[in-house]
Amino acid sequence: MQQDTDVIHSIEEIAKELKDAAWFIGQRVINREEVIEQAFCALLTAEHALLQSRTGVGKSLLAEQIFSMFEGARLFRVQASKEQQPDTFFGGLDLEELKAGRIIHNTKGSLVESDFGFIDEIFDANDFTLRALLSLLNERRLLRGLQDVASPLHSVIAATNYLRVSEVTEALLDRFLFKAVILPDKDPFIQYQISQRYLVHGGRPAVPEKRIPLRDFNTCIASSPAEVMTSRSRSPTSCCTSRTS
């Protein structure tokens, strides 16, 4: 009974901390409340989120500010490009293993050993690299040749300015349960607020006064994710559009 009470208290505490975190982020990334809500729903369900918009709407700032709210989290950041190979995400090849004819990645510091990932301009990556990411995003495992490594990866937020269609990108989109299209803000007052925030923080994430311990967060959502989401008082959506008329 005492253990159940402790779990309930922990759920209530995490729910309150998530609300406080969402408010903090909303004060720095203006007019993105729905996208912030959706991103937290992705974290609560250990899913991935895709943000699509034109350049200059703060996708990178939003993702990095969200991840900055968690204490003890290992974050992997990368700007995707067509020239990149899977090594960019999985770590460089182990030279000693390569001499023996085995392709083994040194995963230290890579996406494989991270809790969170932010992939900017994900569709700039070539199909070969994107295909290699599929098992890591879906199964949380690095499966490359003889190498089979379990990953602690919790959630990835990816950003893109455009979508491109291929067999691989269709499969990749399936890995992102939560998708948001962010349209430009046209309200002059909103634009003024965004400019003011940029002058204060220079487009960099603000340092939160209090962070959510990742271990406590994972424990609570593993024991009862539905209660945490209910405590937040709103339901998750798999797709949303954020805009100001």
More confident residue, 155 or 228: 155
pLDDT tens by residue, 5-35: 455 447 788 889 999 999 999 988 988 999 9
pLDDT tens by residue, 68-86: 999 999 999 999 999 999 9
Concatenated DSSP letters of 44-84: HTT--EEEE--TTS-HHHHHHHHHTTEET--EEEEE--TT-
Radius of gyration over every alpha carbon of the chain, rounded to an integer in angstroms: 19
pLDDT tens by residue, 91-116: 999 998 888 888 899 999 999 999 99
DSSP letter, residue 134? H
Is the four-CA dihedral 73, 79, 80, 85 of positive or negative sign? negative
Residue where the block lists tokens 């779990």: 7
3-state secondary structure of 235: coil
Residue 237: predicted pLDDT: 44
Q: Among 64-73, 135-144, 234-243, which is the least confidently predicted range?
A: 234-243
3-state secondary structure of 31: coil
- Is pTM, for the whole model, over 0.95? no
The helix or strand, by DSSP H or E, that contains position 241, with its residue range, turns out to be strand 239-244
Residue 4 confidence (pLDDT) above 60: no
| Mean pLDDT of the residues in the chain | 86
Residue 134: predicted pLDDT: 96
For residues 235-245, give the mean pLDDT: 48
Residue 241: predicted pLDDT: 56
68: tokens are 């900055």
Residue 187 confidence (pLDDT) above 90: no
Residue 123 confidence (pLDDT) above 60: yes
The helix or strand, by DSSP H or E, that contains position 148, with its residue range, turns out to be strand 147-150
Structural domains of the chain sorted by starting position, each given as residue range(s) with its CATH number in brackets = 2-232 (3.40.50.300)
3-state secondary structure of 110: coil
Residue 145: predicted pLDDT: 83
The helix or strand, by DSSP H or E, that contains position 156, with its residue range, turns out to be strand 155-160
Residue 150 confidence (pLDDT) above 60: yes
Residue 11: predicted pLDDT: 78
More confident residue, 194 or 27: 27
